[in-house]
A and B are shown apart, each in its own frame.
Chain A
Amino acid sequence: DVKVTQSSRYLVKRTGEKVFLECVQDMDHENMFWYRQDPGLGLRLIYFSYDVKMKEKGDIPEGYSVSREKKERFSLILESASTNQTSMYLCASEGIILGAFFGQGTRLTVV
């Protein structure tokens, strides 16, 4: 079974803090994605990566950056957290087998 693991289920951070959300997959997948999920808005793509050190902006990249130094790990960075970044963050990975596999999500609250 594919396993996508996000480092935290719940996080509370202060405004202005630098925040790291980590995601690890164990299936040697090429593609990895970061989404945020908000009620009524569905999943919105922040960034995705199709190879090590490669990244592409999604629909809402502002205020975020990503890092993919190793194939199995894709990190989402909030450079200076703001209250409007309070959300559920979902990581996914996708390989040759069709369909993306998701982690359990990280609920981030910025106070």
Chain B
Amino acid sequence: QKEVEQDPGPLSVPEGAIVSLNCTYSNSAFQYFMWYRQYSRKGPELLMYTYSSGNKEDGRFTAQVDKSSKYISLFIRDSQPSDSATYLCAMSAVLSTGGTSYGKLTFGQGTILTVHP
């Protein structure tokens, strides 16, 4: 079983629709929960992050974390064609190796979203 599971889609919606993207995870040591947006041939862009259960809103985007169910979601309201991209969930944990601590991100596989006019 993968530590982070994300439905790869693809997901195609009409402009203005509400989009729901989801990830489940199995590692209780994860501390931060993130959503990245990646356009073609670009690096992932950090959209939102949170470290506690509950909702966090930023404009049209809402990130939701449920630690008891090990489930996170990203909602996009009033979706636009410019939202068409791959969305990656990611979770971080602090690991120690040979006396060095570092933050390790574990990514979902990414969901390809297309918003058509």
Q: Do A and B bind each other?
A: no
